[in-house]
């Protein structure tokens, strides 16, 4: 799966890491629902760090379409809420059953 982190670039992340990314995405959703800015910052940072850790960066000149677009680390609560309105079920989709 190709994930774009806004302002940073694209990462190719294997399906084997999606469960962990989903867990981190759930933490982000929980922080948003609670209105906890500190937990939101930590959860967003953890999610983006995991994408960097598990993903392989694609070259800047790569023209691969992104499967997911994630906010940058400086995104506001409102910006992430707007992205979630578009996505519906968190930033990272669950694996098909």
> By residue range, what is the domain housing residue 53?
2-87
- pLDDT for the residue numbered 51: 97
Cα 68 to Cα 50: distance, rounded to the nearest angstrom: 14
The band of 97, judged by pLDDT with boundaries at 50, 70 and 90, is very low
Assigned domain for 82 exists: yes
> Would 64 be classed as within a structural domain?
yes
Residue 92 lies in a domain: no
Q: Is residue 96 part of a domain?
A: no
Average pLDDT along the chain: 88
Domain-located, residue 94: no
Any domain includes 81? yes
Note the pLDDT of residue 5: 95
Tokens (6 digits) for 26: 């759930």
- The whole-number pLDDT of residue 84 equals 77
Percent of the chain topping pLDDT 90: 65
28-34 LR contacts (CB < 8 Å, sep 24+):
28/80, 28/90, 28/91, 29/84, 29/90, 32/77, 32/80, 32/81, 32/84
Residue 83 forms part of a structural domain: yes
**97 is a domain residue:** no
pLDDT digits (tens, 9 = 90+) for 14-50: 999 999 999 999 999 999 989 899 999 999 999 999 9
């Amino acid at each position: 799966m190709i994930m774009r982190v806004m302002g940073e670039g694209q990462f190719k992340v294997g399906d084997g890491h999606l469960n962990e990314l989903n867990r981190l995405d759930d933490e982000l959703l929980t922080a948003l629902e609670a209105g906890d800015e500190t937990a939101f910052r930590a959860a967003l940072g953890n999610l983006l760090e995991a994408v960097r850790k598990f993903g392989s960066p694609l070259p800047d000149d790569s023209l691969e379409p992104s499967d997911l677009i994630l906010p940058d680390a400086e995104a506001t609560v409102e910006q992430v809420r707007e992205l979630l309105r578009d996505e519906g079920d968190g930033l990272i989709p669950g694996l098909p059953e």
